[in-house]
Amino acid sequence: MKKTIFLLSIISIFLSSCSEEVSESITYKINEPVFMSTQDFRNSLKVTKNSVEITDYGKIAFYNGYLYICESGKGIHIIDNRVPSSPANVGFIELLGNADLAIRNNLLYADSYIDLVWFDVTNPAQPTFKGRLENIFPKALPIIENEFGIDYALCYPENANQGVVVGWQLKERTEPINEYTGGWFWRFGGPTFDAVATTNTAGSSSNGINGSMSRFTLYNNNLYAVTENQMTIFDLTGEMPKKAAESIYIGWNVETIFSYKDNMFMGTPTGMLIYSVTDPLKPIFQSSVSHVFGCDPVVVDNDLAYVTVHSGNNCGQNANDLFIVDVKDVKKPKQVATFAMKSPKGLGIDNGKLFLCDNGLKIFTITTPGELYLKSLKNIEGMLGYDLIAYNNTLMMIAEDGLYQYNYANINDIKFLSKLAFAKKAN
């Protein structure tokens, strides 16, 4: 009888405990959006002839002797670089949410969060605002400057009048685990923007030259812009740009784009994508080359693609490599070589030489396929390079602390020309 009573008591306790709700919770941090009214956002655009100190590096473009430097989220610095040994900071375009730009026929096109804006740079030191396409990049968001995720549900509210996301507030939350429905990972995941993103490294009299981190590129009469997981194509033949086709879904967050022959080469966190633009308004997927997770720019020359992967970013991996891929047949690309690096980022090619930002500046001779592929020529240390443009024997390299320039007319005797120092960030 005692055994029966004991057993019934155990069963009673078990059933009682099952009927009670477990009240465990989880505490975490997440970025919540900061909004600005759409009117205030668009009214903030300003062009000034006065120089503004550069405090952070970003995307770069070169056109008619002038270098344009995007300071992420703030605007575009204008550098008179007609004398590379003595560059001058001569103006600034205050442009909230700017990250990328491209220049064609004296018109500079730039993103400003959700909008595309453009300026006449016939007089490079005094750009003239020409127009704006509104809400053309509806999913654009500011850069995240910490390791935490985003609450995307708050970024795109049902009330469209809430404004434009222009920043982040880091918030700590505590939620009951029993209320978790699967959205927790979704809020923490999603695309983030490395201080990093690629376009042509060779220009013409009408096209500017972009660094390898760009998400804008030019092909024929069109501007191609990749943001998050979409490609948007603009027709530049008229007085104002217009969206030429429906945006194309590409896949995982595209970080860079490079135009070569009739193809677009795109860098993503998981590898390189190749799309044909034989029909410029109907890009067609050709192939992909997968590698370890890593944020990567791509440049292509002589049917060889050069791709960098670096650690210490939001892509969640520790590899630091330079990949070389044979893309003569874009439907069947072949990875032909891998070189270990320290922390490779932007790169460019000119006249058979590869210039690479890798804890400084590295320069290689590109050898005949089937041999070494790369032969080291020079390793300049002392700066943390981010991106570069190699053009007409002048190397323009943007680094964390300034703009460095070198003359490589004699590749065996590279000459330092100048450094335009950046101001230190306020703590």
Query: For the ranges 278-287, 331-340, 387-396, which has the lowest average pLDDT?
Result: 331-340
Average pLDDT over residues 142-169: 85
pLDDT score, position 31 = 94
pLDDT score, position 251 = 74
For 196-225, the pLDDT digits (tens) are: 333 443 344 489 999 999 999 999 999 999
Would you say 108 and 118 are in contact if contact means Cβ atoms under 8 Å apart?
A: yes
pLDDT at 40 over 90: yes
Nearest Cα to Cα of residue 224 among 210, 206, 238: 210
Would you say 405 and 395 are in contact if contact means Cβ atoms under 8 Å apart?
A: yes
pLDDT score, position 357 = 96
Q: Distance of alpha carbon 144 from its chain centroid, rounded? A: 13
Q: How confident is the model at residue 427 (pLDDT cuts 50, 70, 90)?
A: low
Query: For the ranges 184-188, 292-296, 410-414, which has the lowest average pLDDT?
Result: 184-188
Q: How confident is the model at residue 317 (pLDDT cuts 50, 70, 90)?
A: low
135 Ramachandran zone, left/alpha/beta (phi>0; psi -120 to 50): left
DSSP label of 143: P
Among 87-91, 171-175, 246-250, the range with the most confident prediction by mean pLDDT is 87-91
Two structure tokens written together for 7: 């057993």
Would you say 50 and 91 are in contact if contact means Cβ atoms under 8 Å apart?
A: yes
Q: How confident is the model at residue 375 (pLDDT cuts 50, 70, 90)?
A: confident
Contacts of 374 (CB under 8 A, 6+ apart): 322, 324, 337, 339, 354, 364, 365, 366, 367
Cα separation, 98 vs 75, in Å, equals 6
Query: 316 phi and psi, to 5 degrees?
Result: 75, 45
Cα atoms in the 13 Å half-sphere on the side-chain side of 186: 7
pLDDT at 11 over 60: no
Taking the C-alpha atoms of 296, 299, 302 and 305 in order, what is their torsion angle to the nearest 10 degrees?
A: 10
CATH of 36-132+195-421, one of 3.40.50.300, 2.130.10.10, 1.10.357.140, 2.60.40.180: 2.130.10.10
Instruction: Measure Cα distances from 118 to 53, 108, 122, 129, 241 in Å.
Output: 23, 5, 12, 6, 9
Query: 199 phi and psi, to 5 degrees?
Result: -145, -165
What is the model's pTM?
A: 0.86
Q: Identify the helix (H) or strand (E) that includes residue 154.
A: helix 152-155
More confident residue, 9 or 326: 326
Q: How confident is the model at residue 189 (pLDDT cuts 50, 70, 90)?
A: very low
pLDDT score, position 18 = 47
Q: How confident is the model at residue 426 (pLDDT cuts 50, 70, 90)?
A: low
Average pLDDT over residues 135-140: 91
Average pLDDT over residues 61-65: 97
pLDDT at 420 over 60: yes
Cα separation, 387 vs 345, in Å, equals 7
How many Cβ atoms sit within 10 Å of the Cβ of residue 342? 11
Domain ranges of the chain: 36-132+195-421
Q: How confident is the model at residue 125 (pLDDT cuts 50, 70, 90)?
A: confident
DSSP 3-state assignment of 184? helix
What is the pairing mode between strands 334-340 and 128-133? unpaired
Cα separation, 257 vs 218, in Å, equals 10
pLDDT score, position 7 = 40
pLDDT more than 90, % of the chain:
60
pLDDT score, position 227 = 85
Angle value at C-alpha 296, between 103 and 185, nearest 5 degrees: 110
Contacts of 178 (CB under 8 A, 6+ apart): 21, 22, 23, 24
Cα separation, 255 vs 275, in Å, equals 15
pLDDT at 278 over 90: yes
pLDDT at 371 over 50: yes
More confident residue, 388 or 291: 388
More confident residue, 101 or 309: 101
The Cα diameter of the chain in Å comes to 102
Average pLDDT of the chain, as a whole number: 85
